[in-house]
């Protein structure tokens, strides 16, 4: 049955629609994979096999719903920072131990309405502020490609579950690369949408203030076709979400996509990437050229300034947002979250005037970047400087230079500040055989364009399973 759980979500849905397999049979295959692998990976933190079986039987009794519900019977997971009724959503913190939402986030409600079968919720670093998934509440999540390495963060539990075939697809969230870096680390696909294209209401903590621009709930799966299916199914205007714009879904043709010139770059000339990362970007560029796209070297001039603004809003404002909740309970915090607080405290305190100026600069810099992207509406670039790192590592030697922890992920951080959609596709591999993804970025509200170009790359490379997933 391990072959079945590693099939794309769209294939699993086809088997369900044709009656080749029942919801209960598909659920049981995933339950077996979870029971076999989760003790090693620690990806799911709220999972009850009997609960899933009972729900699957209800699905099978709703035979007439198959044709009307696009995700009917699909086994999925949800990051434990996205409110899921009846399941623990504790954001990886002992301060929120045992919290079970009474209501679903909007996207989870839409998942249920589309017929998906929710298996459980997945692990994340405490309060989402790390690129490694570990916490005092549930412990460390491991990468199915190498148990000594992290699947990334903050959607690390989600990426590990999907890569290992414990879940067909799922939902993560991203304010600094948190669905993209884990996808890159585990060899799957993901999309950080334009904020609001998929409603953020019900994310924990709320995507408010600067995080309304930085943050987005995004789909994760083993293929871009699966990611696009989740995006199409779950996106749409939420009239109660101030970040949600009434933007209609678009279905660009291949000719439409080819009309967009693609700019690509291997690095930003400030922080190097591994040789294999460069090779992956160039391999993706070659595939796109062969598919009829104009792909030319181009790098926006605004990247470092965008990165500095990301640091202001994510690091400084993130620490400020959490200060009231953690005050007096510092001894209960995870080492990884204390590490984040230390990074925030190491810089001079930000004044009200500096914050106001940064907010104004954000709008001006976004406008400048979007003007540069008029010639190149799609960008192709790395996701990160390195592939999945060993638990606890915080610096790497690349091309004779030391790359520090937060610097290694700058390739994702830029696009949170820009509020741009960005998709990740696995393309290459490191000398150790670890996956390496590339990033396809479009202008805000042009998510379908990023997905369409990413699909061309995915068709040429695609998901390969880690050995442990094959059983």
Pairwise CA distance, residues 43 & 123, whole Å: 6
Q: Is 423 left (phi over 0), alpha (psi -120 to 50) or beta?
A: beta
Let me know if 431 is exposed, middle or buried by CB neighbors in 10 A (0-12, 13-18, 19+). Answer: exposed
Retrieve residue 18's tokens.
């044709």
DSSP readout, 97-146?
TT---SS--HHHHHHHHTT-EEEEEE---GGG--SS---TTT----BTTB
Is omega for the bond preceding 354 within 30 degrees of 0, making it cis?
Answer: no
Residue from 79, 93, 192, 412 carrying the catalytic annotation: 79
Match 């406008």 to its residue by tokens: 367
Pairwise CA distance, residues 422 & 19, whole Å: 35
CA 31, 37, 43, 47: dihedral to nearest 10 degrees? 30
154 in active site: yes
Retrieve residue 174's tokens.
């991203």
Q: For 371, phi and psi rounded to 5 degrees? A: -65, -40
Retrieve residue 180's tokens.
């993209």
Residue from 81, 178, 235, 334 carrying the catalytic annotation: 178
Strand partners, 438: 382, 425
DSSP readout, 325-353?
HHTT-GGGS-HHHHHHHHHHHHSPPPPHH
How far does the chain reach from its first CA to its final CA, in angstroms? 9
Is omega for the bond preceding 205 within 30 degrees of 0, making it cis?
Answer: yes
Residue from 154, 159, 167, 190 carrying the catalytic annotation: 154
DSSP readout, 228-252?
HHHHHHH-S--TT-TT---PPP---
Retrieve residue 461's tokens.
């490379």
- The angle that helices 224-234 and 9-17 make with each other, rounded to 10 degrees, is 70
Catalytic residue numbers, as ranges: 79, 154, 178
């Amino acid at each position: 049955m391990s072959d079945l759980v590693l099939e794309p979500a769209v294939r699993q849905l086809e088997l369900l629609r044709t009656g080749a397999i029942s919801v209960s049979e598909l659920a049981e295959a995933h339950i077996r994979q979870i029971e076999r692998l989760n003790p090693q990976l620690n990806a799911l933190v709220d999972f009850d096999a009997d609960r899933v079986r009972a729900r699957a039987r209800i699905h099978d009794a709703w035979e007439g719903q198959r044709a009307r519900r696009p995700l009917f019977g699909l086994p999925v997971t949800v990051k434990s920072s996205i409110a899921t009724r009846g399941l623990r959503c504790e954001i990886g913190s002992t301060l929120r131990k045992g919290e079970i939402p009474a209501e679903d986030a909007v996207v989870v409600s839409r998942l249920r309405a589309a017929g998906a079968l929710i298996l459980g919720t997945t692990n994340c670093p405490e309060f989402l502020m790390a690129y490694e998934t570990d916490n005092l509440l549930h412990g460390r999540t491991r990468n199915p490609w190498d148990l000594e390495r992290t699947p990334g963060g903050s959607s690390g539990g989600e990426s590990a579950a999907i890569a290992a075939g414990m879940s067909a697809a799922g939902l993560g969230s991203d304010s600094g690369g948190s669905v993209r870096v884990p996808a890159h680390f585990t060899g799957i696909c993901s999309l950080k949408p334009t904020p609001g294209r998929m409603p953020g209401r019900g994310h924990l903590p709320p995507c408010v203030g600067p995080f309304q621009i930085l943050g987005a709930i995004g789909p994760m799966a083993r293929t871009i076709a699966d990611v696009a299916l989740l995006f199409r199914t779950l996106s749409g205007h939420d009239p109660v979400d101030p970040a949600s714009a009434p933007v209609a879904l678009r279905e660009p043709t291949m000719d439409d996509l080819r009309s967009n010139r693609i700019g690509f770059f291997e690095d930003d000339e400030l922080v190097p990437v591994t040789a294999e990362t460069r090779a992956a970007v160039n391999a993706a560029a070659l595939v796109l050229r062969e598919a009829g796209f104009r792909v030319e070297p181009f790098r926006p001039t605004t990247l470092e300034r965008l990165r500095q603004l990301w640091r202001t809003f994510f690091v400084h404002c993130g620490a400020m947002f959490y200060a009231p909740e953690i005050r007096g309970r510092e001894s209960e915090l995870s080492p990884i979250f204390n590490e984040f607080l230390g990074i925030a405290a190491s810089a001079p305190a930000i004044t009200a005037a500096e914050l106001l100026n940064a907010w104004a600069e954000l709008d001006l810099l976004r406008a400048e970047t979007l003007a540069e992207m008029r010639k190149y509406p799609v960008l192709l670039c790395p996701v990160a400087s390195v592939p999945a790192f060993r638990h606890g590592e915080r610096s790497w030697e690349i091309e004779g230079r030391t790359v520090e922890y937060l610097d290694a992920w700058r390739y994702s951080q830029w696009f949170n500040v820009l509020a741009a959609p960005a998709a990740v596709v696995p393309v290459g591999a490191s000398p150790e055989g670890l996956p390496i993804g590339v990033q396809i970025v479009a202008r805000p509200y042009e998510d379908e364009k990023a997905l369409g170009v990413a699909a061309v790359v995915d068709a040429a490379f695609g998901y390969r399973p880690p050995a442990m997933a094959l059983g």
